[in-house]
Amino acid sequence: MKLNTSFKERRYLGQDVFEYLKKAIIDQTITPGSRLVESKIAEMLGISRTPLREAFHKLEREDWIEKTSSGGFQVVTLTRDDIEQTFGIRSVLEAYAARLAAENHETRDLAPLEKKIKEFQHCLELNKGSEELQIINTQFHDLLYGLSKSPKLIKMINQLRAQISRFRQIILAQTEYAHESNKNHIQMIEAIKNRDGKKVEELVRQHIIKGRNVVLSQLEQEEMEKKSA
């Protein structure tokens, strides 16, 4: 684990540290299972232990880290069950949101989505990193589900945002899937244009299942590497 930054004393320092550490966990700068040594992290970030403890407790409440038997903290390791549950919930919520988008959108609403598809394709052609692809991908999905015109549903999807970002980091790192993902997005737009709610609902569900399979495959690979090490 290597954290290349320092923090100055700020009014909301605990929240800033929380956001910073959460991002480091999502992009795996801090890897699953890593032990978090309070004194070392405080020194690396140039802060006192009080805001760090505040950040740790919030990370624990949101299931990013967990207490160890010795009383310290470590990053939660993703399990097959975690992955299955998260993607299962996503498939229900996001497929329904896409169906509502097909039924409720205005024609002019689709231009920003088409723009994101072009931006994503441009990044693929330039071999940009998965982080930039992830940002555009997230923006696309946010725009799509915004067309559902259902604030309550959007709020429920957003509650999974951080966990979803963690998985997208893994998924979009695979070039073949990244290309396929953009093709799926084009198909979704066409179904929405045709106001075919049933079709776009199924497209989104299959899209999420493919992502789940990529993450499970990565997990299995890591488990095999640990056993052979």
Distance CA 84, CA 111 (A): 33
Position 187 scores a pLDDT of 97
Structural domains in the chain, CATH included, are 13-75 (1.10.10.10), 80-228 (1.20.120.530)
Distance CA 18, CA 207 (A): 31
Q: Is the pLDDT of residue 133 over 60?
A: yes
Distance CA 20, CA 219 (A): 25
Position 6 scores a pLDDT of 55
Position 3 scores a pLDDT of 62
Task: State mean pLDDT over 71-86.
Answer: 89
Tell me how long the chain is: 229
Q: Is the pLDDT of residue 1 over 70?
A: no
